[in-house]
Amino acid sequence: MTAEATPALVGDTQQTAPGPRVRRGSAYPRYLAGKVAGAAVSLLAVLVTSFFLFRLIPGDPVKTMTGGRQVSAGQLAAYREEFGLDLPLWRQFTDYCGKALTGDFGTSYQFRAPVVDKITEALPNTLLLTGTAFVLYTALGVFLGTRSAWRRGGLGDRFNTGLALTLYSIPSFWLGLLLIIVLSVGIGPLPGMFPTGGMESGGKEGFAYVVDVAHHLVLPVVTLVAVEYGQTLLVTRSALLDEMGSDYLTTARAKGLRDDLVRRRHAVPNALLPTVTLIFINLGRTVAGVILVETVFSWPGLGGLFYQALSVPDLPLVQGLFFVFAAAVIVMNTLADLVYPLLDPRVAR
């Protein structure tokens, strides 16, 4: 077999093998059923855990809601009856599970509104913040991780990995506070350029409102991107380094392909499996929000709402948010498992 025939044979095998092996037989349906069943069990476990976990928080929600006012024992008893806190624990648990399975997580103690309504109200704000940051730090991490791996050991590689490790180790709330001090309040000759918190200044409409929201969005997005991109960079770099010595890359180079073409068409697609896992997990976390960052910047999203609910504790709201956070991660992780066989058919065997 000639040197020219070998690359063609390798290329044909890579192009034709994955499709039929995913579609034929019962391996993939069994794999699919197993993953979906595992996700359902995980969601049920989260539902049960969310009920008991937050009842370990010290404090009386009814007394907290009265704000330290003088309230008679009869009034406290009426509040407990209104919120169902006078029922036995097993009865509270069965009522909670029965309603939750229909999408009803009860009524918030402090807001006196359905939990689902409060979550729906705050969800777009969280998706705007974390979704914007997700797109930026994923693209930045994959790009820099690919460059660092392809030029491993060079000055750029050492700088990128060192900076990524440093920023990844910094607590997000600390970095957020530092950015507020430097870029919002101002320090020395440097004036404050961005708002200290919130989502909007108020009183603006149309394009001016969009610009105002974008202005408030800068610092929390920069905080999230700075802390999160390093993980994607390191995972992408490590996966690509594992592929660097593979025979098919040597064959591609022997065909005379440019180095950038070898990296883009051959090395990167085969190194994406660990990165895809991380991307889907991070995508699930965009729904969960980032509690500390939203709290530091007073962003009106799910993370800030969760922090408010914990301070009471507002049990229905905390339980509902916890279930939504966990469900988002579980669903996205399951979707990642279902995508794996499309990238590597051997996974579904």
- The pLDDT mean for the chain works out to 79
C-beta neighbour count of 26 within 10 angstroms? 8
CA 33 to chain centre: 25
Beta strands in the chain (DSSP E): 186-187, 190-191
Which residue is listed with tokens 């990642």?
Answer: 336
At 288, is the secondary structure helix, strand, or coil? helix
pLDDT at 49 over 70: yes
pLDDT at 258 over 80: no
Q: Is 186 left (phi over 0), alpha (psi -120 to 50) or beta?
A: left
Band of the pLDDT at 337, cuts 50, 70, 90?
A: confident
φ, ψ (nearest 5 deg) of residue 114: -55, 140
Band of the pLDDT at 5, cuts 50, 70, 90?
A: very low
Query: Which residues, 6+ apart, have CB-to-CB distance to 287 below 8 Å?
Result: 123, 126, 127, 130, 302, 324, 325, 328
Mean pLDDT of 48-52: 84
Q: How many CA atoms lie within 13 A of 31 on its CB side?
A: 21
Mean pLDDT of 251-258: 68
Q: Which fold has domain 20-348?
A: MetI-like fold (1.10.3720)
pLDDT in tens, 107-145: 888 888 889 999 999 999 999 999 999 999 999 998 998
* Total residue length of the chain: 349
pTM listed for this prediction: 0.76
Query: Percent of the chain at pLDDT above 90?
Result: 16
Query: In terms of Cα–Cα distance, which of 232, 295, 339, 318 is closest to 52?
Result: 318
Angle at 24 between CA 22 and CA 28, to 5 degrees: 50
Mean pLDDT of 57-78: 68
* Per-residue confidence (pLDDT) for residue 132, from 0 to 100: 92
pLDDT in tens, 151-174: 888 888 899 999 999 998 888 889
Q: In whole angstroms, what is the distance from residue 82 CA to residue 22 CA?
A: 55
pLDDT in tens, 196-213: 888 888 778 788 889 999
Give the 3-state DSSP-derived string for 197-217, with helices as H, strands as E and coil as C.
Answer: CCCCCCCCCHHHHHHHHHHHH
Query: Which residues, 6+ apart, have CB-to-CB distance to 191 below 8 Å?
Result: none
* Per-residue confidence (pLDDT) for residue 1, from 0 to 100: 42
Q: In whole angstroms, what is the distance from residue 68 CA to residue 56 CA?
A: 22
Band of the pLDDT at 147, cuts 50, 70, 90?
A: confident
Band of the pLDDT at 344, cuts 50, 70, 90?
A: low
